Structure 1
Amino acid sequence: MSGLYGRHRAVSPEWLALYYRHPIELTHGEGRYVRDADGNRYLDFFGGILTTMTAHALPEVTKAVAEQAGRIIHSSTLYLNRPMVEMAERVAALSGIPDARVFFTTSGTEANDTALLLATAHRRSNQILAMRNSYHGRSFSTVSITGNQAWSPTSLSPLQTLYVHGGVRTRGPYAELSDDRFIEACVADLEDLLGHTRGPAALIAEPVQGVGGFTSPPDGLYAAFRQVLDRHGVLWISDEVQTGWGRTGDHFWGWQAHAEHGPPDILTFAKGIGNGMSVGGVVARAEVMNCLDANSISTFGGSPITMAASLANLSYLLEHDLQGNARRVGGLLIERLRGIAAAFPAVREVRGRGLMIGVELVKPGTDEADPEAAAAVLEAARAGGLLIGKGGGHGTSVLRIAPPLTLTVAEAEEGAAILADALHAAG
């Protein structure tokens, strides 16, 4: 073993995952394409795990970063920070949460960790409701509320976590029910669970489960949950780390597919808003955000340079209607992939909305997950010039497709054709 891979293995933890039998080093990116250290060019359908949200090397973002770096890069939250205030104003207005307050972090993990701190302090309870098959981060508290065993390395926790049905529509005990009956059954499960608890602090849920394989409940499930939660005084945390900023096409936030009873009490975000810069955050109404009775700061959250990038990225996203592009191009891509999948018995389901698409692979003729097939397709796609991700809660057997939101129809067709060839080569 030699080169950069050997050096990586010599100094990195064994559990630090790398894609591909022969891992690649990405060195350049422009638009929806990247190049590796050997000069190979790839169409990027994963964006650094849904993080390069608009485009690689977006001129508006790189210009904002360079200009801010020429002034001041860092100050911490102990000083007034104009870019942070401007970004907080925009996020508060977009969030839908009344009298909103915004706290910036450096990652989605840290954002969810902060949301848990706020909810447990506000409710004086360490009980948390979470969804089965969920993923919320890698910190000690967020690992402990993650309902996906593959991403939860310890059962030790400062929290008592209780898991609720509903995040996966096509598997589990309610899979054969109609959407309305599915929601009724999940609500009944939640009601029963609350009858055996001492007052949970919050329910945390991804509107579309990311690491879990881009699964989601029928629209309206969390609105129905909200009625029950409100009766019990339980807060609702919407984890928008992967679903926010218009990626699902139909909505700016994932929670808006469940909006009948208003916005969540707490909203968390990260990943795409910085377009590669390290940005996360929490939005909550003032009553909840201000409940902490001790001092707190953030050394790196809301730094001038990451806020400059986020402001430029958000402006570009809104001015170019990238949510609408995700809806239009994503809809075409989903239908194209479903047409391709019809020829492959190993494809159990093509699901998703907007530019957040999952292709679930199983052993043909069964519902048994096939992680080996997913790994083979990942390799074949890379060989064909396409980068995708993988995930899933029933074995890592779901191909995850989440290109930058500027994806063109021609690029969607190119990626679909490469994926079709990869499925054929792997099968």
Structure 2
Amino acid sequence: MNDDLLSRHRAVLPDWLALYYEHPIEITHGEGRHVWDSDGNRYLDFFGGILTTMTAHALPEVTKAVTEQAGRIIHSSTLYLNRPMVDLAERIAKLSGIPDARVFFTTSGTEANDTALLLATAYRRSNTVLAMRNSYHGRSFSAVGVTGNRGWSPTSLSPLQTLYVHGGLRTRGPFAGLDDYDFVAACVDDLKDLLGHSRPPAALIAEPIQGVGGFTSPPDGLYAAFREVLHERGVLWISDEVQTGWGRTGEHFWGWQAHARSGPPDMLTFAKGIGNGMSIGGVVARAEIMNCLDSNSISTFGGTQITMAAGLANLTYLLEHDLQGNARRVGGLLIERLRAAAAHVPAVREVRGRGLMIGIELTRPGTDEADPAAASAVLEAAREGGLLIGKGGGHDTSALRIAPPLSLNVAEAEEGAAILEDALRSIQ
């Protein structure tokens, strides 16, 4: 049956629409931290539909909220008052840490970042944008234009002039051999030098932990140090929290809080996990920035009632069950378990991450040369063992990405780690 579905997929969908696995699977249903495919195989899900199933599959509180809202009204657009949208906006504005915050809802992280770039360039009257090397911000024309990852940048054309800064990738590049203090200092000096050779930028957009880039991150405080330099020049800071938001890193609710010395960003973008599978994205910004547009605008599907009901129920569950704390506790156990397993696998260059956002980078043993074939082999072996994980990385997709729902328990973490250990050993 999958062969027939695969041939139909290939006949009507783009060639560049990636599918995992040599024999792609169709996921038909899920519950908790598990999903099933159309052949009846059960998998422990350590990727959550790309960090999107944040709390659990088929979470009763979310399905109930969606069902009840669908029975009233599903959609009306932003041209009418919308109680669920206002309710969720109030909660997100308060949680954001941004003073006098305004929230605009979109349908995806790509659209959220696109909106943030529109706001920044309009507010600053500049189309120059700073972005990080190895970054990913979405697939729209403007988001691709600030993506610093060659594997996800299909065109060099862009409405923006983008300048790329060092710092998002700690263990590669010209500053990799420095200690954390000197690494930050060198990246700040590089930023200052870059600013001295360019027109005044509108903003820096940065992921606190680079998602598609392989779950890489700088030392804590780097973006605070950048912020001090940028603030002197009036340059805005956009924190792309599409993957790091909602407590996934365990230590903080937002990724920017690891760099909080200089306070919150001017804007943050969010998506993925807040809807637990429903299409929600958005931007939080100071009122003066959000209100800078001087023309009319609406959103047909951003903030629609059914997605807002899901987001409210999901956020309530996450906060009431302290899933951030669970990510810290269970994620800490999982990363140590994976580091112990990886110590016996020469192909593992690094196990990194925070909370339930963990990356394993694979290289050819004894070198820093990326090994995408090994990453694909581990992905396949993990699936055969009953575990779904992801891939990423700016060096030919040689990093494994591990990001289970935040309700993962200790037994499931141990089970997944054991499967992944066997998968890693299988490539030796």
Q: Does residue 85 of structure 1 match 2:103? A: no
The aligned residue for residue 285 of structure 1 is 286
The aligned residue for residue 168 of structure 2 is 167
Q: Distance in 2 between matches of 1:426 and 1:369?
A: 14
Please report how far the alpha carbon of residue 426 of structure 1 lies from its aligned counterpart in structure 2 after TM superposition. 2.5
Q: Distance in 2 between matches of 1:26 and 1:160?
A: 41
Q: Residue by residue, what CA displacement relative to the aligned partner does 1:50-106 show, whole Å, maximum 9, x if unpaired? A: 000000000000000000000000000000000000000000000000000000000
Q: Residue by residue, what CA displacement relative to the aligned partner does 1:356-401 show, whole Å, maximum 9, x if unpaired? A: 0000000000000000000000000000000000000011000000
Q: Residue by residue, what CA displacement relative to the aligned partner does 1:268-318 show, whole Å, maximum 9, x if unpaired? A: 000000000000000000000000000000000000000000000000000
Q: Distance in 2 between matches of 1:336 and 1:62?
A: 33
The aligned residue for residue 68 of structure 1 is 69
The aligned residue for residue 33 of structure 1 is 34
Q: Distance in 1 between matches of 2:111 and 2:86?
A: 20
The aligned residue for residue 9 of structure 1 is 10
Please report how far the alpha carbon of residue 424 of structure 1 lies from its aligned counterpart in structure 2 after TM superposition. 1.6
Q: Residue by residue, what CA displacement relative to the aligned partner does 1:91-141 show, whole Å, maximum 9, x if unpaired? A: 000000000000000000000000000000000000000000000000000
With structure 1 as the length reference, what TM-score do the two structures score?
A: 1.00
For 1:287, the aligned partner's letter is E
For 1:265, the aligned partner's letter is D
The aligned residue for residue 366 of structure 2 is 365
Q: Residue by residue, what CA displacement relative to the aligned partner does 1:179-205 show, whole Å, maximum 9, x if unpaired? A: 000000000000000001110000000
Match of 1:145, SS?
coil
Match of 1:77, SS?
coil
Match of 1:111, SS?
helix
For 2:248, the aligned partner's letter is R
Q: Distance in 1 between matches of 2:228 and 2:145?
A: 26
Q: Distance in 2 between matches of 1:2 and 1:316?
A: 39
**Equivalences for residues 208-247 of structure 1 within 5 A:** 208-247=209-248
Q: Distance in 2 between matches of 1:348 and 1:409?
A: 26
Q: Distance in 2 between matches of 1:43 and 1:20?
A: 16
Match of 2:426, SS?
helix
Please report how far the alpha carbon of residue 2 of structure 1 lies from its aligned counterpart in structure 2 after TM superposition. 4.0
Match of 1:75, SS?
coil
For 2:378, the aligned partner's letter is V
The aligned residue for residue 263 of structure 2 is 262
Q: Residue by residue, what CA displacement relative to the aligned partner does 1:27-62 show, whole Å, maximum 9, x if unpaired? A: 010000000000000000000000000000000000
Q: Distance in 2 between matches of 1:115 and 1:43?
A: 35
For 1:105, the aligned partner's letter is T
The aligned residue for residue 188 of structure 1 is 189
Match of 1:419, SS?
helix
Q: Residue by residue, what CA displacement relative to the aligned partner does 1:189-244 show, whole Å, maximum 9, x if unpaired? A: 00000001110000000000000000000000000000000011100000000000
Q: Distance in 1 between matches of 2:78 and 2:24?
A: 38
Q: Distance in 2 between matches of 1:237 and 1:130?
A: 10
Q: How many matched pairs?
A: 427
The aligned residue for residue 99 of structure 1 is 100
Please report how far the alpha carbon of residue 425 of structure 1 lies from its aligned counterpart in structure 2 after TM superposition. 1.7
The aligned residue for residue 253 of structure 2 is 252
Please report how far the alpha carbon of residue 5 of structure 1 lies from its aligned counterpart in structure 2 after TM superposition. 0.5
For 1:360, the aligned partner's letter is E
Q: Distance in 1 between matches of 2:291 and 2:226?
A: 25
Match of 1:8, SS?
helix
Question: How has the CA–CA distance of structure 1 residues 25 and 2 changed in structure 2, closer, same or farther, with 3 Å as cutoff?
Answer: closer
The aligned residue for residue 326 of structure 2 is 325
The aligned residue for residue 153 of structure 1 is 154
Q: Distance in 1 between matches of 2:427 and 2:384?
A: 11
Match of 2:238, SS?
strand
For 1:386, the aligned partner's letter is L
Q: Distance in 2 between matches of 1:323 and 1:218?
A: 21
The aligned residue for residue 58 of structure 2 is 57
The aligned residue for residue 19 of structure 1 is 20
Match of 1:426, SS?
coil
Please report how far the alpha carbon of residue 150 of structure 1 lies from its aligned counterpart in structure 2 after TM superposition. 0.2
Match of 1:282, SS?
strand
For 1:87, the aligned partner's letter is L
For 2:264, the aligned partner's letter is P
Match of 1:344, SS?
coil
For 1:15, the aligned partner's letter is W
For 1:196, the aligned partner's letter is H
State the 4+ residue runs in structure 1 displaced beyond 6 angstroms.
none
The aligned residue for residue 338 of structure 2 is 337
Q: Does residue 383 of structure 1 match 2:387? A: no
Q: Residue by residue, what CA displacement relative to the aligned partner does 1:247-277 show, whole Å, maximum 9, x if unpaired? A: 0000000000000010000100000000000
The aligned residue for residue 134 of structure 1 is 135
The aligned residue for residue 310 of structure 1 is 311
Match of 2:337, SS?
helix
For 2:209, the aligned partner's letter is V
Stretches of structure 2 that go unaligned for 5 or more consecutive residues are none
Q: Distance in 1 between matches of 2:11 and 2:422?
A: 36
Q: Distance in 2 between matches of 1:420 and 1:95?
A: 37
Match of 1:182, SS?
helix
The aligned residue for residue 200 of structure 2 is 199
Q: Distance in 2 between matches of 1:285 and 1:147?
A: 27
Q: Distance in 2 between matches of 1:383 and 1:78?
A: 49
Q: Distance in 2 between matches of 1:167 and 1:18?
A: 27
Q: Residue by residue, what CA displacement relative to the aligned partner does 1:337-362 show, whole Å, maximum 9, x if unpaired? A: 00000000000000000000000000
Q: Distance in 1 between matches of 2:15 and 2:277?
A: 25
Q: Distance in 2 between matches of 1:52 and 1:122?
A: 34
Q: Distance in 1 between matches of 2:280 and 2:3?
A: 34
For 1:131, the aligned partner's letter is M
The aligned residue for residue 179 of structure 2 is 178
Q: Distance in 2 between matches of 1:240 and 1:78?
A: 27
